[in-house]
Chains A and B, each alone.
Chain A
Amino acid sequence: MSEKAEKYLINGEKGKWEVVIGLEVHAQVTSNSKLFSGSSTKFGAEPNTQVSLIDSAFPGMLPVINEYCIQQAIKTGLGLNAKINPYSVFDRKNYFYADLPQGYQISQYKNPIVGEGEITLDLPNGSKKIGIERLHLEQDAGKSIHDLDPSSTFVDLNRSGVALMEIVSKPDLRSPDEVNAYVKKLRSIMRYLGTCDGNMQEGSLRADVNVSVRKEGDAKLGTRCEIKNVNSIKFMQMAIIYEAKRQVELLESGKSIDQETRLFDTKKNETRSMRSKEDAHDYRYFPDPDLLPLNLDKKLIEKIKKDLPELPDEKKERFIKEYSLTPYEANVLVSEKEISNYFEEVIKTSDKKLAKNWIMGDLFASLNEKNISISESPVTAKKMAQLIDSISSGVISGRTAKEVFEIMKETGEDPKKIIESKGLQQKSDPKELEGIIDKILSDNKDKVDQYKSGKDKLFGFFVGQVMKVSGGKANPQLVNDILKKKLK
């Protein structure tokens, strides 16, 4: 497949346009307490029940950095193959909003904790490296609730002060599919590391999407628009498709793009201007005098590096080598930590090839069908291993196994029990099978003659008859062997 054929381009009236995308992903740091206070970060609590005096900016309150969040950021930086900056600074980003109690957000501006890095995406036409510009730590704001009362806005400060990592990519993404792969890869890395749960429904992962377009082959980047706070991959893709089209239409009609901040309206499937460059906030960034610059100990970085878990890319290589998987199969099986754990647990005792096929086939289909994750699957790795073992040891045929799996995925029942209670064991007793076969052969003498005179295709007919008589339980391998011998 050639590169060109895969390229995502927009066909305008006056030519083909390339879409250039960069993401600023806001990932909530997995941590029991907030970035600068001891308040809980648990999701779903009653409004304003997880708020300390610091989070609500009472007079005289001071932030104290949560060391664990620092370690989580370092870990993530290492997972993104990025440079960890031994010196970084927390700055104040000043603006007024009702859900921003301090009147400023503590963030990192000129000196982020993590510098440049890159991650590799596996795309249908090969792999592609996406550059990471930086990762910095910052506080989340609270939440303004506008729809509870016609004339008042309510403020919930539970999220106020929760630690976020802002991960800024280089403008290396070129299509909605690449964005999908990028966000999934980022999410996968962070979930492997345990630094962000990646739960988009709970707002643990959101992104600002920067989109620009340029004529195919142009080297210069076009003027970009930033689409704020998009909270699902699907919406990111929809927003990009809409926004790129809007920009192409503007440019083709001779107009120019205004650099601005836009909002994606998920109901109308369109982006809308939020504020222009002229109206952009002047955030008056300056180093937060309440916090000393962060000087990281080299030993700490080394220790975290040493203790890093196996990440998706390494695991993929290992799977290919150790389990003779194709790159595609390995990719699928490492895409989520839970899937790879499941796979490795099954193959501890059971056949690798069968395991791979069953997991990527029937199991994934059942998960999709029920819209659940692998860790919620009623068919646990242990039960899957039992099912596979029943096939390998000849207790049931592959076909019967599918029948058993259908029951397992609904009830989560033990495969052995299902096989026993339904009497699904294969007939593997040669004497019993010989008896059945002899009877079939003597009942169908004409067909035996035809077969012997060269009509090979009739072999299948005899197998079918045996299966029919045995209720599908005859061991197919044995049936083959006996039939071949008898029909000689």
Chain B
Amino acid sequence: MSELTKKSLTEIANLIKKKEIKSEELTQSFIKNIQKDKKLNSFITKCSELALKKAKDFDKKQKLDNLLPGIPIAVKDLFCTSGTKTTAGSKMLENFIPNYESTITNNLWNEGAFLLGKLNCDEYAMGSSNETSYFGNVMNPIAENTVPGGSSGGSASALAADLTPTTIGTDTGGSIRQPASFTGIVGLKPTYGLCSRWGIVAFASSLDQAGPMTKTVEDCALMLEAMAGFDEKDSTSINKKKENYSKNLTDKIKGLKIGIPKEYRVEGMPKEIDKLWENGKKILKDSGAEIVDISLPNTKYALPAYYIVAPAEASSNLARYDGVKYGFRSSKGNNLTEMYENTRSEGFGDEVKRRILIGTYVLSSGYYDAYYLKAQKVRQLIKNDFDQAFKKVDTILTPSTPSSAFKIGEKKDDPISMYLNDIFTVPVNLAGIPAISIPAGHDSNKFPLGLQLIGKPLDEQKLLNIAFAAEKKINFKQTLNRWWEK
């Protein structure tokens, strides 16, 4: 394996800028790693030839003043890529080739990067273990038969295994941060509206947000800089000036106040995670930050509210997959209704169906007020909790997940226990605020554990700075035996 693929994105970009390596060489190294993806199953579509061609094109006329010069990037298969299959991990879109490019991927390509492949994910991003993908489950490079988390499980796995120098995911209830935590990488969910949703297969529109997944905080700043920006094609996009996150990155966090919410100390949480959290506090204190105890009293309502709002929106967003215009259509059925029923029964997997059912139910007349409307009110309360907290503190520190990565199949038949995985990540999506997960240690199995920093709306720079400071002191080391290559 080439040492090149182990490097951070920032290092690689600098090597290219200094003309010490060529894009072709770099791309070849990653393609070589990708060829051994079989057991990980992190790729749905490999774009090796296309990527090599792009790399050669780049090398011919190097444009080095971009953020991502000549960098091959594999992305979650939820981003529509023009001319390349975009499946959303579903049989429904198994052969769907868009003729348009999502704003986010387009932003990356405009900074000099190009597509390396499309990464596995839970079907329509619905899942916390990447076990709902029509294209099979993904394994975590930390150990065989272990889940990488979800829904951006393929992204996390591919990045941790050095199959791509950086990647992007989407986070509706923790789908970037939870797999980041499970695989020992950095994952950021930006403020809702910072990154355009245009061209991303929708799961739950009011919660979905694209974000970077990287090996280091510095890489994360660089990627966010490339991705973020106002998009007039997305009505929920925030119209604000672009920021230079990477240039302004600093580990000087003296005097910043870090909140510790007591409600995140949940029953049955492993001691190791508690220890990790304590260690995080200590590190930030050592860096000059002040630790403040805070309360987010409505936290316990977040998960139930999320599992009403997200399925409700999903049930409507997924209505378009009806077999009429594109995607899978069942050959069975004698009339329109039967065609719909068969197409959607055969085309969607169980988890997607479960959420469509829940969503349809909570929006039904007679139930709307009791479920959907109430969940929206809870959402407001959770947002208020954070608003109150941010009057006292700059950032909130919590564990990213209540456990480390679990075994494939372990929670598959227990949706509630699966949903509980998102308990620390979901409130952030409901409030529309940014949060980052950074690798912060290992449990007794040597499985990575992550810490989450939650920030005020559009306060990504501060989040990145604190994460940067913590990262230096934590000095996390990824220990992989590369079992999947054997």
B84 to chain A, nearest CB (A): 13
Q: Which of B376-402 contact A (CB under 8 A)?
A: none
Q: Which of B223-263 contact A (CB under 8 A)?
A: 232-236
Whether B316 pairs with A98 at a CB distance below 8 angstroms is: no
CA distance A153 to B339 in the complex (A): 13
Main secondary structure of the interface of B (DSSP, over half): loop
B330 to chain A, nearest CB (A): 15
The chain A residue with its CB closest to the CB of B326 is A58
The chain B residue with its CB closest to the CB of A290 is B205
B201 on interface, CB distance cutoff 8 Å: yes
- How many residues on B have C-beta within 8 angstroms of the other chain's C-beta atoms? 41
Whether A103 pairs with B316 at a CB distance below 8 angstroms is: yes
Given contacts A92-B316, A98-B336, A64 and B364 within 8 Å (CB-CB) = no
Whether B86 pairs with A59 at a CB distance below 8 angstroms is: yes
B360 on interface, CB distance cutoff 8 Å: yes
Contact code string B351-382 (vs A, CB < 8 Å = 1, else 0): 00000000010011100100010000000000
Whether B80 pairs with A102 at a CB distance below 8 angstroms is: no
CA distance A290 to B320 in the complex (A): 15
A282 on interface, CB distance cutoff 8 Å: yes
* Contact residues in A for B365 (Cβ distance below 8 Å): 282, 284
Whether B80 pairs with A284 at a CB distance below 8 angstroms is: no
Whether B316 pairs with A59 at a CB distance below 8 angstroms is: no
CA distance A103 to B326 in the complex (A): 14
Whether B100 pairs with A58 at a CB distance below 8 angstroms is: yes
B147 on interface, CB distance cutoff 8 Å: no
The chain A residue with its CB closest to the CB of B232 is A64
Whether B93 pairs with A63 at a CB distance below 8 angstroms is: no
B171 on interface, CB distance cutoff 8 Å: no
Whether B236 pairs with A284 at a CB distance below 8 angstroms is: no
Whether A63 pairs with B80 at a CB distance below 8 angstroms is: no
Q: Which of B313-343 contact A (CB under 8 A)?
A: 313, 315-316, 318-320, 322, 324-326, 336, 340
A323 on interface, CB distance cutoff 8 Å: no
Whether A289 pairs with B313 at a CB distance below 8 angstroms is: yes
* Contact residues in A for B80 (Cβ distance below 8 Å): 59-60
CA distance A155 to B325 in the complex (A): 10
- Per a CB cutoff under 8 Å, which of B312, B318, B320 touches A101? B320
Contact code string A382-426 (vs B, CB < 8 Å = 1, else 0): 000000000000000000000000000000000000000000000
* Contact residues in A for B201 (Cβ distance below 8 Å): 59-60
A292 on interface, CB distance cutoff 8 Å: yes
Whether B316 pairs with A60 at a CB distance below 8 angstroms is: no
CA distance A114 to B112 in the complex (A): 48
Whether A291 pairs with B100 at a CB distance below 8 angstroms is: no
Given contacts A101-B325, A286-B368, A57 and B234 within 8 Å (CB-CB) = no
- Per a CB cutoff under 8 Å, which of A96, A153, A292 touches B236? A292
Whether A289 pairs with B319 at a CB distance below 8 angstroms is: no
Contact code string B189-218 (vs A, CB < 8 Å = 1, else 0): 000000001111110111000000000000
* Contact residues in A for B197 (Cβ distance below 8 Å): 60, 62
CA distance A135 to B102 in the complex (A): 35
A94 on interface, CB distance cutoff 8 Å: yes
CA distance A262 to B378 in the complex (A): 41
- Per a CB cutoff under 8 Å, which of A60, A102, A286, A292 touches B312? A286
Whether A94 pairs with B319 at a CB distance below 8 angstroms is: yes
The chain B residue with its CB closest to the CB of A60 is B199
Whether A103 pairs with B320 at a CB distance below 8 angstroms is: yes
* Contact residues in B for A155 (Cβ distance below 8 Å): 324
The chain A residue with its CB closest to the CB of B79 is A60
A53 on interface, CB distance cutoff 8 Å: yes
Whether B319 pairs with A282 at a CB distance below 8 angstroms is: no
- Per a CB cutoff under 8 Å, which of A102, A282, A290 touches B364? A282
Whether A60 pairs with B236 at a CB distance below 8 angstroms is: no
Whether B102 pairs with A94 at a CB distance below 8 angstroms is: no
Category for how many chain A residues contact B:
20 to 34
- Per a CB cutoff under 8 Å, which of B86, B235, B336 touches A63? B235
Contact code string A131-159 (vs B, CB < 8 Å = 1, else 0): 00000000000000000000001010000
A198 to chain B, nearest CB (A): 30
Main secondary structure of the interface of A (DSSP, over half): loop
Name the residue among A62, A92, A155, A290 with the largest chain B CB count within 10 angstroms: A62
Whether B319 pairs with A96 at a CB distance below 8 angstroms is: yes
Whether B316 pairs with A57 at a CB distance below 8 angstroms is: no
B304 on interface, CB distance cutoff 8 Å: no
* Contact residues in B for A96 (Cβ distance below 8 Å): 319, 322, 340
B334 to chain A, nearest CB (A): 10
Given contacts A58-B326, A96-B322, A103-B322, A290 and B236 within 8 Å (CB-CB) = yes
* Contact residues in A for B405 (Cβ distance below 8 Å): none
B107 to chain A, nearest CB (A): 15
* Contact residues in B for A292 (Cβ distance below 8 Å): 235-236
B98 on interface, CB distance cutoff 8 Å: yes
Q: Which of B75-99 contact A (CB under 8 A)?
A: 80, 86, 88, 93, 96, 98
Whether B235 pairs with A290 at a CB distance below 8 angstroms is: yes
Whether B325 pairs with A94 at a CB distance below 8 angstroms is: no
- Per a CB cutoff under 8 Å, which of B318, B324, B368 touches A98? B324
CA distance A98 to B324 in the complex (A): 7
The chain A residue with its CB closest to the CB of B372 is A286
Whether A64 pairs with B200 at a CB distance below 8 angstroms is: no
Whether B320 pairs with A62 at a CB distance below 8 angstroms is: no
* Contact residues in A for B93 (Cβ distance below 8 Å): 59
Given contacts A282-B365, A289-B205, A62 and B233 within 8 Å (CB-CB) = yes
Whether A60 pairs with B235 at a CB distance below 8 angstroms is: no
The chain A residue with its CB closest to the CB of B231 is A62
A104 on interface, CB distance cutoff 8 Å: yes
* Contact residues in B for A296 (Cβ distance below 8 Å): none
Whether A284 pairs with B316 at a CB distance below 8 angstroms is: yes
CA distance A290 to B235 in the complex (A): 7
- Per a CB cutoff under 8 Å, which of A59, A102, A285, A291 touches B319? A102
Whether A153 pairs with B336 at a CB distance below 8 angstroms is: yes
B169 to chain A, nearest CB (A): 15
Whether A94 pairs with B326 at a CB distance below 8 angstroms is: no
* Contact residues in A for B336 (Cβ distance below 8 Å): 97-98, 153
B457 to chain A, nearest CB (A): 15
Whether A103 pairs with B364 at a CB distance below 8 angstroms is: no
A470 on interface, CB distance cutoff 8 Å: no
Q: Which of A42-70 contact B (CB under 8 A)?
A: 53, 56-65
CA distance A149 to B170 in the complex (A): 44
CA distance A290 to B96 in the complex (A): 23
Whether A101 pairs with B324 at a CB distance below 8 angstroms is: yes
CA distance A61 to B372 in the complex (A): 24
B110 to chain A, nearest CB (A): 18
* Contact residues in B for A285 (Cβ distance below 8 Å): 363, 368
* Contact residues in A for B236 (Cβ distance below 8 Å): 289-292
* Contact residues in B for A291 (Cβ distance below 8 Å): 235-236
The chain B residue with its CB closest to the CB of A102 is B320
Contact code string A230-268 (vs B, CB < 8 Å = 1, else 0): 000000000000000000000000000000000000000
Whether A59 pairs with B202 at a CB distance below 8 angstroms is: yes
Q: Which of A104-150 contact B (CB under 8 A)?
A: 104
Whether B372 pairs with A60 at a CB distance below 8 angstroms is: no
* Contact residues in B for A60 (Cβ distance below 8 Å): 80, 98, 102, 197-202
B308 to chain A, nearest CB (A): 11
CA distance A153 to B236 in the complex (A): 36
The chain B residue with its CB closest to the CB of A280 is B365
A129 to chain B, nearest CB (A): 34
A333 to chain B, nearest CB (A): 45
Q: Which of A151-181 contact B (CB under 8 A)?
A: 153, 155
A-B contact pairs, 11 of them (CB 8 A): A58-B325, A59-B98, A59-B201, A62-B233, A98-B324, A103-B316, A103-B322, A282-B364, A284-B315, A289-B236, A292-B235
User: 7 smallest A-B Cβ distances: which pairs?
Assistant: A103-B319, A289-B206, A289-B205, A284-B363, A57-B320, A60-B199, A59-B201
Write the residues of chain B forming the contact surface with A, with a CB cutoff of 8 angstroms: 80, 86, 88, 93, 96, 98, 100, 102, 197-202, 204-206, 232-236, 312-313, 315-316, 318-320, 322, 324-326, 336, 340, 360, 363-365, 368, 372
